[in-house]
Amino acid sequence: MRRPGRTTEVGAGGHATGPRLRAVDATIGYDGATVSESLSVDIPDGRFTVIVGPNACGKSTLLRALSRLLKPEAGQVLLDGKAIDSYPAKQVARTLGLLPQTSIAPDGIRVADLVARGRYPHQRLIQQWTADDEEAVASAMRDTGITDLSAKLVDELSGGQRQRVWVAMVLAQQTQIVLLDEPTTFLDIAHQIELLDLCARLNREQGQTMVAVLHDLNHACRYADHLIAMRAGRVIAEGPPAEVITAELVGEVFGLSCRIIDDPETHTPLVIPRAGDWAALPARR
């Protein structure tokens, strides 16, 4: 397990090296209220990173900063070694896709048309819709199990179905880095597992860097190969789930007394709250 604090790696010729996406001493917040101060986070390339922590600890704020939606008040977010806000928005969108926590579809739009909007960063003024675009949309709908919904209005769908449509739109974008803010929201347990299995497969087979904010610690442990635990705007610990998730860490971050056992299916940590002891430990700031 690695606690916060890192040094910049230097490669041959004195050039800084490191992951494609990182926050460096970033102070971020909203409307003059600071959420995280001097926060440094590296997103490992080609890995499935999951960010966990209690409500309002800064998880979504960090994701918004990493996606260029929120500019740090100090410090910076780097993409391929350059400040992310120095790139044109469309160029960033060809590299990095984001599923925000809440999304609003235009009135009267059909499922296939909304998913097709994921191809916008790849469109040029003189280039028409191509067979590659068509296949990207069809593949994203197929992978998320919404092909049979393609002609339906998004407004007519259930919350879980709408969530899968938004995920499909992000997947149709076909970026090398995918950021997902609570992607399992509104999904029943079967579709939660199906979606996380899909993310793990894309990471494994296509090498896409996946970053997800999840509330379920056991899902986080099962799917992540890199875990970031946050509290009160700070990174408390990060590393492989087997090293990060301990009873002490869960108590410190979530204020929950628990046991950690081996998941018999995946042999990853399984968090078991102690009976009658919910929120028994005072969370330390």
- Helices then strands, each counted (H, E), the chain: 9, 14
**Pair of tokens at residue 22:** 């990182």
Q: What phi and psi values does residue 7 have, to the nearest 5 degrees?
A: -115, 155
Task: Report the C-alpha gap between 161 and 144 in whole angstroms.
Answer: 10
| pLDDT at residue 233 in the model | 96
- What is the Cα–Cα distance from 148 to 146, expressed in whole angstroms? 5
Closest CA relative to residue 167, chosen from 122, 132, 220, 212: 212
**Mean pLDDT value of segment 122-130:** 80
Please, are residues 67 and 50 in contact by the beta-carbon 8 Å criterion? no
The 10s digit of each residue's pLDDT in 28-48 is: 998 889 999 999 999 999 999
Domains with residue ranges and CATH for the chain: 21-273 (3.40.50.300)
Computed over every residue of the chain, the mean pLDDT equals 91
pLDDT over 90 (residue 280): no
Q: What are the residues whose beta carbons fall under 8 Å from the beta carbon of 253, sequence distance 6 or more?
A: 52, 53, 54, 229, 230, 231, 236, 283
Is the Cβ–Cβ distance between 49 and 57 less than 8 Å?
A: no
What are the residues facing 76 on neighbouring strands? 24
Quick one: average pLDDT of 235-243? 97
pLDDT, residue 101, reads 87
What's residue 12's pLDDT?
47
Q: Would you say residue 13 has pLDDT above 90?
A: no
pLDDT digits (tens, 9 = 90+) for 74-96: 999 999 999 999 999 999 999 99
Query: CA angle at residue 224 from 15 to 246, to 5 degrees?
Result: 105
The model's pTM is: 0.88
| Closest to 3 (Cα-Cα) out of 241, 242, 251, 235 | 235
* pLDDT for residue 192 is more than 80: yes
**What's the pLDDT at 8?**
40
- In sequence order, which residues have a C-beta less than 8 Å from that of residue 73 and are 6 or more positions away? 27, 28, 29, 34
In the chain, % of residues over pLDDT 70 = 91
Give the per-residue pLDDT at 16: 47
Q: Is pLDDT at 1 greater than 80 in this prediction?
A: no
Q: What is the pLDDT of residue 241?
A: 98
pLDDT digits (tens, 9 = 90+) for 144-182: 999 999 999 999 999 999 999 999 999 999 999 999 999
Q: What is the pLDDT of residue 285?
A: 53
Find the distance separating the first CA and the last CA of the chain, reported in whole Å: 19
Report CA-CA distances (Å) from 113 to 110, 132, 271, 281: 5, 16, 41, 49
pLDDT over 70 (residue 109): yes
Sheet bearing 226-231, strands edge to edge: 96-99, 177-181, 209-213, 48-52, 226-231, 234-239
Q: Is the pLDDT of residue 112 over 70?
A: yes
Q: Once rounded to an integer, what is the mean pLDDT over residues 234-238?
A: 97
Neighbours of 92 (CB within 10 A): 20
Strand 209-213 and strand 48-52: the pairing is parallel
> Tokens 């391929």 appear where?
80
Q: Which residue has the higher pLDDT, 208 or 2?
A: 208
**The pLDDT value given to residue 283:** 57
Backbone angles phi and psi of 90, in degrees to 5:
-65, -35
The whole-number average pLDDT for the span 211-228 is: 97
